[in-house]
Structure 1
Amino acid sequence: MRELLLSLEVAGACALLALLGLLLVVVRRRRLTGRLGTFDCSVRHPGSRRWALGVARYETDRLDWYRTFSLSPRPSRSFARGALGVMSRRDTEGNERLAVQPDAIVVECRHGGASLELAMSADAYTGFASWLESAPPGQNVNVA
C-alpha cells in the first residue's frame, strides 16, 4: 500500500510540473504577442524539412524571433534589417500546409549569406515588406 501511495505522489508531482511548464509557455506567449509589432512566424532553414513555430517581433534595426515552445525570455534568432532581403514568396505546398499557420505564405529570404524561409500570414507579409522598405537610407534592402 505504501509503494502505491508513493507512486501516486510521484505521478501527481510529475503532472503538476508538466502543467506548470505548459502554463509558463502560455504566459510567455501572451506576453510576447501582447506587444505591438508581433506576428506569428515559422522559420525553416534550407535543407531542413522541419518548420519551427514562433513569434516574430519588430525592433528598430532587427527582427527578433522567439520559439513558441521555449521558456527563454531572449529571442532564439535575430535578423538584422540591413542584412535581410526577400528573394521570393509563394503559397505553401504539400505537407507545409500542416506544419505552419493556416493560409500562410512562404517568404524565401537571405540573411547575410545564408538563406532561410519564413512562413507568415499575408497581412503579416505586408507589414514585413513595409518594415523592410522603410529602412534608413544606405541600407540595401531587397523586397520581392
Structure 2
Amino acid sequence: MSITTVVIGLLALIGVVVCWGAWRWRNVRRSGGITVALRWRTGRRGGEIAGWHLGIGRYRGEQFLWFRVLSLRNGPDRVLSRADLHITERREPSREEQYTLPVGAKVLRCTSSAGPDIEIAMDPGALTGFLSWLESAPPGHQVPRAS
C-alpha cells in the first residue's frame, strides 16, 4: 500500500465526515431549531462544570431536544423533559462566557432528576419561547412557573 493510497483514503474519510455533519446541521436547522448553548456538571471532582457547547434546540411535545453542533450522532445529544426540568437560577453570562454564547444570551441553571444539573444559554427571543413552552402544560398537568 503506497502513501498516496493512504492519503486519498484519509481525505475521502474526512470528506464523508464533513458531508455527514453538514447534512445533519442543515436538517436540524431546517426543522425549526434555535441556537442554544448548553453545559452540564460532569460528575467528576465534586461536580465540576464542563465548558459550553453550541447546538440547536428543538421542541417535540413534552421534550426539548438538543443537538450538538460538532457531533456525528444521528439523534439528539440531550433530551430534556418538561415535567422534570426546574429552573433554579437566571443570570447574565460572565465576561469570560460571553464569547462562547449567542449574542445577548441569558443563562438558566436547571435541575432535573434524570441527570446532572445543566445550564442553558439562549438569546432573549428564544428564551421567551423556551419559558412559554416550559410553563405550558396539557390539561390536568401542573408545571411550576419558570420565570
TM-score range relative to shorter protein: 0.7 to 0.9
**TM-score, normalising length: structure 2:** 0.83
Over residues 26-78 of structure 1, what are the superposed CA-to-partner deviations in whole Å (9 max), with x where a residue is unaligned?
A: 11011011113x21112111421411221111011111111222222211111
Q: What percent of counterpart residues are identical?
A: 28
Measure, in 1, the Cα distance between the counterparts of 2:96 and 2:11: 33
Measure, in 2, the Cα distance between the counterparts of 1:31 and 1:93: 32
Alignment gaps of 5+ in structure 2:
42-47
SS in 2 for 1:74: coil
Measure, in 1, the Cα distance between the counterparts of 2:118 and 2:11: 37
SS in 2 for 1:12: helix
Aligned pairs, how many?
Answer: 139
1:8 to 4, 8, 13: 4
Instruction: Provide the alpha-carbon RMSD of the alignment.
Output: 1.9
CA contact (8 A) 1:43 1:53 kept: yes
1:127 to 117, 126, 129: 129
SS in 1 for 2:117: strand
The offset of 1:80, in angstroms, is 0.9
Could you say which residue in structure 2 is the equivalent of 1:17?
Answer: 13
Could you say which residue in structure 1 is the equivalent of 2:45?
Answer: none
**TM-score, normalising length: structure 1:** 0.84
Could you say which residue in structure 1 is the equivalent of 2:146?
Answer: 143
2:24 to 25, 28, 38: 28
Alignment gaps of 5+ in structure 1:
none
